[in-house]
Chains A and B, each alone.
Chain A
Amino acid sequence: MPYSAEISRSNPTCFLFLLDQSKSMLGPIGGGQGKKKADAVADSLNRLLYTLVLRCVWGQAVLDRFHVGVLGYGRQVVPVLGGALANRELVPISELARTPLRVEQRINTVDDGRGGQVEQIVKAPLWFEPTGDGKTPMTKCFERATQILSNFLIAHPSCYPPLVINLSDGEATDGDPEEPARHLRELASEDGAVLLFNAHISSLAAQSIEFPDQEAGLPDEHARRLFRMSSRLPPALQHSARQAGLAVTPESHGFVFNADLASVVRFLDIGTRVDLKNLR
């Protein structure tokens, strides 16, 4: 059965995030109270990387169950992890854990265990900064992602299939991305095909369409193309989506259209869940 391989140090999987860094990403995100799309997405993605690291903590170690990369596309197509990880396409998660760009502090309000609440300062690591410049070379980015994952699959032929999440607010400006997206989805390990999910980020707090299961009913050709470019949700992720209260079917695609801030966060969370049964 596909999508059932164990995810472990000896058989890691991979998460690759493709991040639109074109100029339009400097506009406001829907539901973000004036926050720029670039800032909101960087914030969500940095928090997701934090969560992914915590999922690999074992005793006092971080197990390299995941390899992670973030590829930006705007003025150029380039890996965007910063600091010591600059120019690295994929990084084992223990290395990601050890070398954030910097660690900020956040204040959380938590129960003090005596019926009251107390403010707690927690560390918030960041791995890259938001930016927005140039056009939207999404097609080139898919081609680069295909190269990166081909190499990963040569090194890890029996891995749980890698997941690619593409986050963008617009259409490709460098040709039709459908073909390179198909090439990406055709890559496979012994456990199944690479998953490509697409999130379309909206400036409006409009109704988002999460995990649709058919092209018909989508508002325009751009939405329909992104739908076609997105993989079907494997059963474990259908289950995760249902747990999050979303109505999905076996035909649902890993795609959200008109995503506001809340649906971007939810999309990232559901997309990167792995069945605990697969983790070792």
Chain B
Amino acid sequence: MIEPGLVIGYRVFRLPRQGYALEECQDASAGDPRRGRFAIADGAAESPYSALWAHLLVEEFVRQNERLPRWVNWLPSLQERWAADCGLALSRKRLTETTDLGVPWYLEPGLTQGAFATFLGLVIEETSWQAVAVGDSCLFQVRQGELVHTFPIAHAADFSNAPWLVGSRTSPGEVPHKKGLQQEGDWQPGDRFWLMTDALAQWFLVQVEANGKPWLALEPLLHIAGGEEAQYAFDFWIEGLRAARRLRNDDVTLLAVIL
């Protein structure tokens, strides 16, 4: 747990891809600053109920007591909740035998596969932090004007169209447990953690690779007093990057942890 009295600030910004409404955004984020737990997830829109899956993942992660919960411990009950919330009160076995899921025919193939999302969870403790990631949602730690940690993707060229994903019907044992999907470090007052979904993370790394300091573009967002005004500034900035074709047209979530 974090030190009593320590105040962690955090802010979230979210913008759907151009041409889509906010409620169609497949990204999710959650934070509990008192417990030092934060998470973002990026649902794969091609599969039905992925936004729901992304929300369940982040909300459950910040509620967990285990520091970095083991997938086998927290995924099964979450998968059952996903099925129940979709109105699919059925087990894996029944899904393959059933003739009618009670959904339109075009959702059935996707529901049989399940929903999918990337996931990035961060836990801040007394002087240290730990993170877990599946897929291409990224974390960047900045201290005194320098980038000190990049996780889990280190190069802009490493983003692909097929990131690792957590599935709502994937056996928890199959969730990738590759080395490198957990990371830890220490932190100091004044540090920033920038958590972001893939399109913005790729932009961030492109800037870094060109010797830029992309966090200098993000930092002013944290000094705008009103939440709505800050989100408005974020929207304006993202739309400008998209118009200049410097940012892929994708859902964007940015979660800033302020220490």
Q: In chain A between 33 and 83, which residues have their CB closer than 8 angstroms to a CB of chain B?
A: 53-54, 57-62
A207 touches B (CB below 8 Å): no
Q: Mark B2-38, 1 if CB is under 8 A from A, else 0.
A: 0000000000000001110000101000000000000
B153-167 contacts to A, CB under 8 A, are 161
Q: Report the nearest B residue to A110, measured CB to CB.
A: B96
Q: A8-B19, A280-B17, A280-B19 are in contact. Are A121 and B99 (CB under 8 A)?
A: yes
Which residues from chain A contact B46 at a C-beta distance below 8 Å? Answer: 57-58
Q: Is the CB of A59 within 8 A of B50?
A: yes
Say how far B76's CB is from chain A's closest CB, in angstroms: 14
Smallest CB–CB gap between A14 and chain B, Å? 18
Contact of A57 with B107 in the complex, beta carbons under 8 Å: yes
Q: Is A125 an interface residue (CB 8 A)?
A: yes
Residues of B within 8 A of A9 (CB): 19
CA distance A121 to B109 in the complex (A): 11
Q: Which residue of A lies closest to B103 (CB)?
A: A60
Is the Cβ of A123 less than 8 Å from the Cβ of B108? yes
In contact, B105 and A59 (Cβ under 8 angstroms): no
Complex Cα distance A58/B251, Å? 13
CB distance from A127 to the nearest CB of B (A): 12
User: Which of B49, B96, B110, B249 interacts with A120 by CB under 8 Å?
Assistant: B96
- Among residues of A, the one whose C-beta sits closest to the C-beta of B112 is A120
Instruction: Tell me if A1 is interfacial: C-beta within 8 Å of chain B.
Output: no
Is B171 part of the contact surface with A, judged by Cβ < 8 Å?
Answer: yes
Interface bits B91-105 vs A (CB < 8 Å: 1, else 0) = 010001111000011
Q: Contact partner of B97 among A10, A100, A118, CB < 8 A?
A: A118
Do A105 and B19 form a contact, CB below 8 Å, given A59-B49, A97-B106?
no
- Tell me, in angstroms, the Cα distance from A62 to B107 when the chains sit together: 9
CB closest residue in chain A, given B95: A120
- Please tell me if the beta carbons of A54 and B24 are within 8 angstroms of each other in the complex: no
B92 near A113: Cβ-Cβ < 8 Å: yes
Residue pair B51, A59 in contact (C-beta under 8 Å):
yes
Q: Are A54 and B109 in contact (CB under 8 A)?
A: yes
What does the 1/0 interface line of A122-138 toward B look like (CB < 8 Å)?
11010000000000000
Q: A98-B104, A121-B99 are in contact. Are A59 and B45 (CB under 8 A)?
A: yes
**Inter-subunit contact A54/B17 (CB<8 Å):** no
- Nearest residue in B to A280 (C-beta to C-beta)? B19
Q: Is the CB of B106 within 8 A of A62?
A: yes
Q: Are B107 and A60 in contact (CB under 8 A)?
A: yes
Contact across chains for A60 and B48 when beta carbons are under 8 A apart: yes
Q: Which of A58, A60, A62, A125 has the most CB of B within 10 A?
A: A60
Write the nearest CB–CB distance from B252 to chain A, whole angstroms. 15
Complex alpha-carbon distance, A100 and B17, angstroms: 31
Residues of B within 8 A of A113 (CB): 92, 171
26 A-B pairs, CB-CB below 8 angstroms? A10-B19, A53-B106, A57-B46, A57-B106, A57-B110, A58-B24, A58-B45, A58-B46, A59-B26, A59-B45, A59-B48, A59-B49, A59-B51, A60-B107, A97-B104, A97-B106, A100-B105, A103-B105, A105-B99, A118-B96, A122-B108, A123-B105, A123-B108, A125-B105, A280-B18, A280-B19
- Closest 10 CB pairs between A and B? A123-B105, A118-B96, A121-B99, A97-B106, A53-B106, A58-B45, A120-B96, A60-B48, A8-B19, A125-B105
Instruction: Other than A57-B110, A58-B24, A112-B96, give 8 A-B pairs with Cβ distance below 8 A.
Output: A54-B110, A59-B49, A97-B105, A113-B171, A118-B96, A121-B98, A123-B105, A280-B18
